[in-house]
């Protein structure tokens, strides 16, 4: 039985988890679990590296204690090595290296995005390669064709804001409170998604990417026009995001006939409207739809331990000089998304 200790500290969360190759999550611990205190309007997230430093070692001890396992029983230590806030990444990676050195176990340096990309396989034993992954969170919005462990093709990314960021900033603009995603979703339930005409950036365009910055500006204008209820703006905004996500995902599936499933991961996967629209799209394409449980969609260490497990089983271990990286694309060969100045 493979047993992996996973560490995550690449952004706001500090976390440790123990996961087996048989998909058993023996322990998962998350610090600062005040779920209400999300970015953009919330209480201070744990951005500071020193906060990660203070929390990580006790979390590892607590996770081992929860599982009733001694540190030297693990097969490898998996730690997020990027991308993310560099101070936080270093804390987790250096902790992982120290534990690897002390125990003589191998280190697996995990890409945070790979953690998200493989997490659906931790939750769903039926999910095989290749699959189409929509990764939507506060920091990322990508379509990845997942062909196997370490084999990812990035088909699309955002050319500006991430989808979760658009939710958070819309909540802030409309004074809906925090966390932004759930606040917008709740307000949207009392609103009319057709009430406010909002743009669908890049929909139907030849380029495969996402764009949400213009949508945010349109929300600002709608608010300042004073003609609409916040609920109607929220509902119309959410519908616009759903339309964009679905249009781009449909396009990606059309060019990837080998995809055996449609999978969503990342914090925005918690949004009910996004989930049900993706489910309908999967039905339309006659492929299964898979979404990990919500706690596994947001940042956590179980997904890092699982990605570490998948890599370890393939012999993909790292040396102790593995670098911490602020930017680390999953698919370095991906065609550049056209950046500024694009009008499509």
Partner 1 sequence: MLLLADPLATEAAGAALAAVLQPGDAVALHGDLGAGKTTFARGLLAALGLPGEAPSPSFAIVQAYAPPEVRIPIWHVDLYRIENPEDALEFGLDDARLDTALLIEWPERLGPPLWPDTLHLRFEPGPDDVRRLTWQAPASWEARWPPR
Interface ranges with partner 1 (CB under 8 A): 11, 39-40, 43-45, 47-50, 83-87, 138-139, 157-162, 165, 169, 172-173, 209, 213-214, 216-217, 219-221, 224, 326-327, 336-341, 343
Classified as helix, coil or strand, 8 is: strand
Q: Taking the complex as a whole, how short is the minimal distance between the CB of residue 25 and partner 1, in angstroms?
A: 26
Q: Specify the residue, 159 or 317, whose C-beta has the smaller distance to partner 1.
A: 159
Q: Taking the complex as a whole, how short is the minimal distance between the CB of residue 113 and partner 1, in angstroms?
A: 12
Q: Taking the complex as a whole, how short is the minimal distance between the CB of residue 159 and partner 1, in angstroms?
A: 5
Q: Taking the complex as a whole, how short is the minimal distance between the CB of residue 144 and partner 1, in angstroms?
A: 15
The tokens for 97 are 């290296």
Angle at 269 between CA 325 and CA 326, to 5 degrees: 10
333-to-75, 129, 260, 307 alpha-carbon distances in Å: 32, 20, 23, 21
Q: Taking the complex as a whole, how short is the minimal distance between the CB of residue 211 and partner 1, in angstroms?
A: 9
Q: Specify the residue, 43 or 61, whose C-beta has the smaller distance to partner 1.
A: 43
Classified as helix, coil or strand, 250 is: helix
Q: Taking the complex as a whole, how short is the minimal distance between the CB of residue 194 and partner 1, in angstroms?
A: 22
Q: Specify the residue, 73 or 86, whose C-beta has the smaller distance to partner 1.
A: 86
Nearest one of 8, 26, 31 to 65, comparing CA atoms: 26
How far apart, in whole angstroms, are the C-alpha atoms of residue 336 and residue 326? Answer: 18
Q: Specify the residue, 89 or 187, whose C-beta has the smaller distance to partner 1.
A: 89
Contacts of 251 (CB under 8 A, 6+ apart): 156, 208
How far apart, in whole angstroms, are the C-alpha atoms of residue 306 and residue 312? Answer: 10
Instruction: Tell me phi and psi for residue 296, to 5 degrees.
Output: -85, -15
Angle at 333 between CA 330 and CA 339, to 5 degrees: 90
Angle at 324 between CA 323 and CA 328, to 5 degrees: 100
Instruction: Tell me phi and psi for residue 26, to 5 degrees.
Output: -80, -30
Q: Strands 131-136 and 141-148, how do they pair?
A: antiparallel
Q: Taking the complex as a whole, how short is the minimal distance between the CB of residue 239 and partner 1, in angstroms?
A: 19
């Amino acid at each position: 039985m493979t047993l992996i200790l996973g560490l995550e500290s690449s952004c706001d969360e500090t976390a440790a988890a123990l996961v087996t190759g048989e998909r058993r999550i023996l322990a998962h611990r998350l610090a600062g679990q005040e779920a209400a205190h999300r970015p953009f309007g919330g209480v201070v997230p744990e951005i500071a590296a020193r906060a990660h430093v203070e929390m990580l070692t006790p979390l590892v001890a607590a996770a081992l204690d929860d599982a009733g396992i001694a540190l030297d029983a693990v097969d490898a230590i998996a730690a997020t090595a990027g991308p993310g806030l560099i101070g936080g990444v270093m804390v987790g990676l250096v902790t992982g290296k120290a534990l690897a050195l002390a125990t003589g176990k191998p280190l697996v340096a995990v890409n945070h995005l790979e953690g998200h990309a493989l997490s659906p396989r931790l939750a769903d034993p039926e999910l095989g390669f290749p699959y189409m992954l929509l990764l939507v969170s506060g920091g990322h919005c990508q379509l990845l064709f997942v062909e196997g462990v370490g084999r990812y093709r990035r088909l699309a990314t955002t050319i500006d804001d991430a989808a979760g960021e658009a939710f958070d900033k819309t909540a802030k603009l409309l004074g809906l409170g925090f966390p932004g995603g759930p606040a917008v979703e709740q307000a949207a339930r009392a609103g009319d998604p057709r009430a406010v005409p909002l743009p669908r950036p890049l929909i139907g365009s030849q380029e495969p990417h996402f764009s949400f910055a213009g949508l945010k500006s349109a929300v600002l204008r709608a608010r300042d026009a004073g003609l609409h209820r916040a609920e109607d703006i929220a509902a119309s905004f959410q519908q616009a995001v759903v339309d964009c996500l679905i249009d781009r995902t449909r396009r990606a599936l059309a060019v990837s006939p080998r995809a055996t499933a449609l999978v969503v991961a990342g914090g925005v996967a918690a949004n009910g409207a996004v989930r049900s629209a993706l489910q309908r799209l999967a039905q339309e394409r006659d492929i299964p739809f898979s979404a990990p449980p919500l706690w596994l969609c947001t940042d956590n260490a179980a997904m890092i331990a699982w990605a570490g497990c998948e890599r370890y089983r393939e012999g993909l271990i790292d040396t102790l000089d593995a670098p911490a990286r602020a930017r680390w694309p999953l698919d370095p060969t991906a065609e550049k998304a056209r950046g500024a100045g694009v009008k499509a």
